Structure 1
Amino acid sequence: MNIKQYLDSTYLKTAEQAGLSEADNNTVVQGFIQEAIDEGFKLIMIRPDKVKMAREMIAKAKSKVLVGTVISFPEGTDSLEEKLAEALQAIEDGADELDYVANYEAFKRGETDLVKNEIYNGTLLGLENHKAVKWIIEVAALTDAQIIQFSALIKNVVITNFKENCLPNVFVKSSTGFYKTENGLPNGATFPTIIMMLENASPLPVKAAGGVRTYEEAEEMIRLGVKRIGTSAAKTIANGETASGNY
């Protein structure tokens, strides 16, 4: 198994969140991009304003690493129009994959039509531009029943409105890594939540984001059926070491 082809190496902190200057944070981003190129990871996941930088570095290196970015991150509460505008700009800047944060708070309030509408339109924009799309449901903010229902909702919107050959390019993804939990509870992927997602999102693929800290955990996620793993410690995991962070 080439585990590196399952790993989306991820750095999503703003300069303020990292406690760095913009210049120093850019240097960190460049380091993550270069590492993804050197290690041959599947994808580098960065903020939308860093997509051009990643595209240029990858092109210069003649690398096959994909560029992914996040949309409406991390709360997912932007309007549909705002989400589509941000996604379109990311596409124009060279993104290969769009990881939208679904409006999980609207879903929890029972605003199903709003959520279905953004899933449909966000997916349509991505697929029309030949991009993979992932929908982050933020499992730490949901009950088990809501995880099941949300995964099924996304699946149903996609299989109802898009051709079968599109389905492998629309993922359900677990977490942003930025959700604040209480009492030290996990804010990312756990085996129980991923199993629920796999069972209820199928035939859509699932991305386990956050919480995977070792090669063995990554291998088990893949064995269960996960197609991608989001982590800020991709090299550590690939080397068989234990990551220290939450994402």
Structure 2
Amino acid sequence: MFSLEDLPRMIDMTSIYADSQLKDIDRVCDIAKAYHCASTIAFPCYLSYTIKNTIGYDDVLHGSVTGFPFGGELTSAKVYEAKQLELMGAQEIDMVMNVGAFLSGNQKYTKQDMTTVCESVKVPVKVIIETSFLNDAQIATAAELAVAAGAEFVKTSTGLHGRPTTVHMIKTIKDAIGDSALIKAAGGIRDVDTMLEMIDAGASRFGLGVRSAEPILREIDTRLARESLMDYIK
């Protein structure tokens, strides 16, 4: 049975802003360790650093991204990066779908791009379909293509294009894919109640930037009537 105490374990703690610095990655690692978050996710250049700084916390996975944030790279470039990340120790990879190709109606290319990346590595791939640019029908189709391509997670958004992820989007994905893959909600999520609604709708993982995660984690601590762990993190 779900408990509020379980919520941090469903969070991928991230810092994948253009201006992410080592101090931001330190914060990602510190919070992930304190709250036993699902994973840390950082740019490929910081992956070795996050692995080094979470030694001893085996319940915190190491993740990174490929084709981020636009998805328009050559498939071969995405594959190369995904393989390199796996060799470096990534345990999960978030990949951006080629949104432009999809919106152009080229579903064959879009699916092949995702399939080739998913099949190139042994670790789980979360395909970001970028719901910010899609209507309901397109969200459903993109989610179905991602699952058919071998994605373990359908992820809503990079969170970098303005339109926040909604509960309705999660329901739309869930209706389309059922239990054939997991759903990761990311982009514009700012409070605990929204997260709980998304869990009810079908989400099982959340991508939270470190800058928006801190108030959410404080809110969780307050609801659990305990002193915030955030106060003990350097």
TM bin, normalised by shorter chain, reads 0.7 to 0.9
The reply on whether 1:95 has 2:99 as its aligned counterpart is: no
Whole-angstrom distance in 2 between the partners of 1:224 and 1:107: 25
Name the aligned partner's letter for residue 4 of structure 1. P
Whole-angstrom distance in 1 between the partners of 2:97 and 2:35: 31
Which region of structure 1 is more displaced relative to structure 2, 189-198 or 117-126?
Answer: 117-126
Task: Name the counterpart of 1:65.
Answer: 60
- State the Cα distance separating 1:116 from its structure 2 match: 1.3
The reply on whether 1:199 has 2:160 as its aligned counterpart is: no
The reply on whether 1:11 has 2:15 as its aligned counterpart is: yes
Task: Name the counterpart of 1:224.
Answer: 201
Write the deviation string for residues 99-118 of structure 1: whole angstroms up to 9, x where unpaired.
00000110111112211111
Question: Out of 167, 170, 178, which is 2:160 matched to?
Answer: 178
Paired residues in the alignment total: 214
Whole-angstrom distance in 2 between the partners of 1:109 and 1:62: 44
Write the deviation string for residues 139-177 of structure 1: whole angstroms up to 9, x where unpaired.
01112221111112222333xxxxxxxxxx711100001
Write the deviation string for residues 185-227 of structure 1: whole angstroms up to 9, x where unpaired.
xx23101111111111222111000122111111111122211
Whole-angstrom distance in 2 between the partners of 1:195 and 1:30: 34
Contact kept? 2:128, 2:158, Cα under 8 Å? yes
Superposition pairs of residues 77-88 of structure 1, within 5 angstroms? 77-88=72-83
Contact kept? 2:130, 2:157, Cα under 8 Å? yes
Task: Name the counterpart of 2:27.
Answer: 31
Runs of 4 or more, structure 1, over 6 Å off, are none
Write the deviation string for residues 27-79 of structure 1: whole angstroms up to 9, x where unpaired.
221121122112211111111111000111112x4442111111111000001
Task: Name the counterpart of 2:46.
Answer: 50
TM-score (norm 2): 0.86
Task: Name the counterpart of 1:237.
Answer: 216
Question: Out of 87, 90, 110, which is 1:115 matched to?
Answer: 110
Where 1:134 maps in the other structure, the secondary structure is strand
Gaps of 5+ in 1: 19-24, 159-168, 182-186, 243-247
Task: Name the counterpart of 1:245.
Answer: none
Task: Name the counterpart of 2:126.
Answer: 134
